Structure 1
Amino acid sequence: MSLKGGLWTLLLLWVTPGSFDKEVQSSEYDYVGFQPERVRNYQNGRFYSRTPQCVDIPQDLALCHGVGYSKMVLPNLLDHESMAEVKYQASSWVPLLSKNCHPGTQVFLCSLFSPVCLEQPLYPCRWLCEEVRDACEPVMQYFGYPWPDMLRCEKFPRDDVCIAAPNATQAPRPRRTEVCPQCDGEIKADSLYEHMCASEFALKVSVREVKKDGGDRKLLLKKKKALKRGPIQRKEWGDLVLYLKNGANCPCPQLEQLSGQFLVLGRKVKNQHILTAIHKWDKANREFNRFMRKVRKNMCPKPHSVFM
Structure 2
Amino acid sequence: MKSGIGTCCLLLVWVTPGLLSNVPQASEYDYVSYQPELGRPYQNGRYYSRPAQCVDIPQDMTLCHGVGYNKMVLPNLLDHETMVEVKYQARSWVPLLSKNCHPGTQVFLCSLFAPVCLDRPIYPCRWLCESVRDACEPVMQYFGFHWPEMLRCEQFPKEEDVCIAVTSPNATQAPRSQKKEVCPQCDGEIKSDSLFEHMCASEFALKVSIREVKKENGDRKLLLRKKKALNKGQIQRKDWGDLVLYLKNGANCPCHQLEQLSGQFLVLGRKVKTQHLLTAIHKWDKSNREFNRFMRKVKKSKCPKPHSVFM
Q: TM-score range by the shorter chain?
A: 0.7 to 0.9
- Displacement of 1:176 after TM fit? 9.1
- Displacement of 1:10 after TM fit? 10
Structure 2: gaps of 5 or more residues: 1-6, 15-19
Rounded to whole Å, the distance in 2 between the matches of 1:234 and 1:209 is 22
> TM-score scaled by structure 2?
0.86
- Displacement of 1:189 after TM fit? 1.1
Give deviations 1:131-168, integer Å, cap 9, x for gaps. Answer: 00000000000000010000000000002011011589
Give deviations 1:244-269, integer Å, cap 9, x for gaps. Answer: 00111111111111110000001111
2:51 corresponds in structure 1 to 51
2:133 corresponds in structure 1 to 133
1:265 corresponds in structure 2 to 268
Q: 1:10 to 1:112 in 2, by over 3 A?
A: closer
Secondary structure of the 1:14 match is coil
Rounded to whole Å, the distance in 2 between the matches of 1:266 and 1:92 is 12
2:94 corresponds in structure 1 to 94
- Displacement of 1:233 after TM fit? 1.1
Alignment partner for residue 214 of structure 2, among 191, 211, 216? 211
Rounded to whole Å, the distance in 2 between the matches of 1:24 and 1:210 is 57
Q: Is the 2:247–2:278 contact (alpha carbons within 8 Å) kept by the matching residues of 1?
A: yes
2:62 corresponds in structure 1 to 62
Q: Is the 1:183–1:277 contact (alpha carbons within 8 Å) kept by the matching residues of 2?
A: yes
2:238 corresponds in structure 1 to 235
- Displacement of 1:67 after TM fit? 1.0
Alignment partner for residue 201 of structure 2, among 181, 198, 203? 198
Q: 1:227 to 1:259 in 2, by over 3 A?
A: same
Structure 1: gaps of 5 or more residues: none
The worse-fitting range, judged by mean Cα deviation, of 216-225 and 167-176 is: 167-176
Rounded to whole Å, the distance in 2 between the matches of 1:272 and 1:21 is 48
Give the total of aligned pairs. 290
Show the 5 A alignment for 1:169-208.
Answer: 169=171, 172=175, 175=178, 178-208=181-211
Q: Is the 2:244–2:276 contact (alpha carbons within 8 Å) kept by the matching residues of 1?
A: yes
Q: Which amino acid aligns with 1:200?
A: E
1:162 corresponds in structure 2 to 163
Secondary structure of the 1:15 match is coil
Q: CA RMSD in A?
A: 2.6
Matched, 1:109 2:113: no
Rounded to whole Å, the distance in 2 between the matches of 1:173 and 1:207 is 32
Alignment partner for residue 252 of structure 1, among 244, 252, 255? 255
Identity, % of aligned positions: 75
- Displacement of 1:230 after TM fit? 0.7
2:84 corresponds in structure 1 to 84
Rounded to whole Å, the distance in 2 between the matches of 1:183 and 1:167 is 33
Q: Which amino acid aligns with 1:259?
A: S
Q: 1:176 to 1:211 in 2, by over 3 A?
A: closer
Alignment partner for residue 28 of structure 1, among 11, 23, 36? 36
Q: 1:53 to 1:88 in 2, by over 3 A?
A: same
Give deviations 1:264-288, integer Å, cap 9, x for gaps. Answer: 0011112211100000001111111
Rounded to whole Å, the distance in 1 between the matches of 2:268 and 2:168 is 32
Secondary structure of the 1:299 match is coil
- Displacement of 1:123 after TM fit? 0.2
Q: Is the 1:25–1:53 contact (alpha carbons within 8 Å) kept by the matching residues of 2?
A: no
1:289 corresponds in structure 2 to 292
1:15 corresponds in structure 2 to 23
- Displacement of 1:106 after TM fit? 0.2
Q: Is the 1:62–1:94 contact (alpha carbons within 8 Å) kept by the matching residues of 2?
A: yes
Rounded to whole Å, the distance in 2 between the matches of 1:197 and 1:166 is 32
Q: 1:223 to 1:197 in 2, by over 3 A?
A: same
The worse-fitting range, judged by mean Cα deviation, of 276-285 and 6-15 is: 6-15
